[in-house]
Structure 1
């Protein structure tokens, strides 16, 4: 089989099965695992898959820059933000992550909702400046421009001095095996620090992130209260997530 044919075969497996297991592909095609791993390295270098131990997973489309992400699945994000905003109770304290989905949640908070919002995102904070009843706290630190959020030691330390009822957290990948992932190590650490300070953490993920993975793990499933997504409730990956005991809240 030619290299181009192997490439198409691997991409087809990712699309159909949601993963590639290198040893299985090598056995099926009668080639070495080294050849499969080399093909996967080439695909990963082109941004077409996310390599993991033993093979590869579909890569998240949400790893592009902040401005570009605003045009990714805008309808799905609107459905997710409405469902997520409904989780915020009157008088409650919310930790709201950064990113385009979190920004949409901030914009979806009802104007008559009295609450406290803690965020490390300047864009989320700016979106809430005109909210008449939301008390606003902005955590500082080095600004990670890719996602327009504060990260690093100063931001993590600031997060350790807060507490909240609810944390709404964005990720770039949601996969039953790879877990909850994002593309930057410091951003992943910041998300863990925020989640640790809330009684409940819900993950915000529009459908294009379901079944995909990025480089760095954010949280294990047992640390998460639920997932808010507009993905089809009968999607195979969503069914696997439910089988893990995860509460999946549909965003209609």
Structure 2
């Protein structure tokens, strides 16, 4: 595989999953670790990503103020506008982090009156711009990679609340394998988020459909809504419709 092809592949993985591990890229591309390290450094030098210990991160994942680097932003705005119909005045909502969630928060109606718990400081900052929204930031260890709080303290706090609706992004979803991820700590956190919600909605651009990663968060039956930019009857969603999942 040519270097440009490797770079394109790496950037696609970054755009889809917000982060990549060097070890995973070595296996996926069947090249040496030194080659991947050089590739990542060249992409860093080009200003396309952030290099961290063990891998790399998307630039768009680290700021709520710069929309120019958000991958598939138009699709995420469509998802955000669909999601808003689930959020009603007086609700208690638990909301995750990531670029799709940030787009959702930016699209909320100004008059909305609700309580939002969040594990994302960036999301909390955006929510604080709404006069009628109460914002509760769940504190704990802070992940420099994912820009959210995590760990046992966060999971303990989540176990003490019951919310009407949990809104989360995802790295991968599959009709048979359910919701999956690559990071152990984030995986445990998402399990706790699903457990404390009466209903859970997954916000997902269509490029993340039918993907399975190594750590299971929950089966598809634990998800109440799947929200993509696609039309409900799109053929790509047939497997999810067969599971009687509510699709927006």
TM-score, normalised relative to structure 2? 0.73
The equivalent of 1:225 in structure 2 is 224
Structure index of larger Rg: 1
Asked if the contact 1:66–1:146 (Cα under 8 Å) also holds between the matched residues in 2, the reply is no
Asked if the contact 1:225–1:247 (Cα under 8 Å) also holds between the matched residues in 2, the reply is yes
Matched residues in 1 for 2:225 and 2:92: separation?
Answer: 18
The equivalent of 2:203 in structure 1 is 204
Describe the SS at the equivalent of 1:201: strand
The equivalent of 2:214 in structure 1 is 215
Unmatched segments (≥5 aa) in structure 2: 2-24, 32-54, 62-68
Runs of 4+ residues deviating >6 angstroms = none
Matched length = 197
Any idea what the Cα deviations from partners look like across 1:163-203, whole Å, max 9, x if unmatched? 11111111111112332112211111111111111111111
Asked if the contact 1:233–1:239 (Cα under 8 Å) also holds between the matched residues in 2, the reply is no
The equivalent of 1:186 in structure 2 is 185
Asked if the contact 2:113–2:132 (Cα under 8 Å) also holds between the matched residues in 1, the reply is yes
After TM superposition, list the pairs within 5 Å mapping 1:84-233 onto structure 2. Answer: 84-233=83-232
The equivalent of 1:54 in structure 2 is none
Asked if the contact 1:159–1:194 (Cα under 8 Å) also holds between the matched residues in 2, the reply is yes
Q: CA deviation at 1:214?
A: 2.5
Q: CA deviation at 1:95?
A: 0.5
Any idea what the Cα deviations from partners look like across 1:56-92, whole Å, max 9, x if unmatched? xxxxxxx962524552211111111111122111111
The equivalent of 2:28 in structure 1 is 43
The equivalent of 2:245 in structure 1 is 246
Asked if the contact 1:66–1:148 (Cα under 8 Å) also holds between the matched residues in 2, the reply is no
Matched residues in 1 for 2:144 and 2:200: separation?
Answer: 24
Q: CA deviation at 1:148?
A: 0.7
Asked if the contact 1:207–1:229 (Cα under 8 Å) also holds between the matched residues in 2, the reply is yes
Q: CA deviation at 1:113?
A: 0.5
Describe the SS at the equivalent of 2:200: strand
The equivalent of 1:52 in structure 2 is none
Matched residues in 1 for 2:98 and 2:130: separation?
Answer: 19
TM-score, normalised relative to structure 1? 0.71
Unmatched segments (≥5 aa) in structure 1: 4-39, 47-62
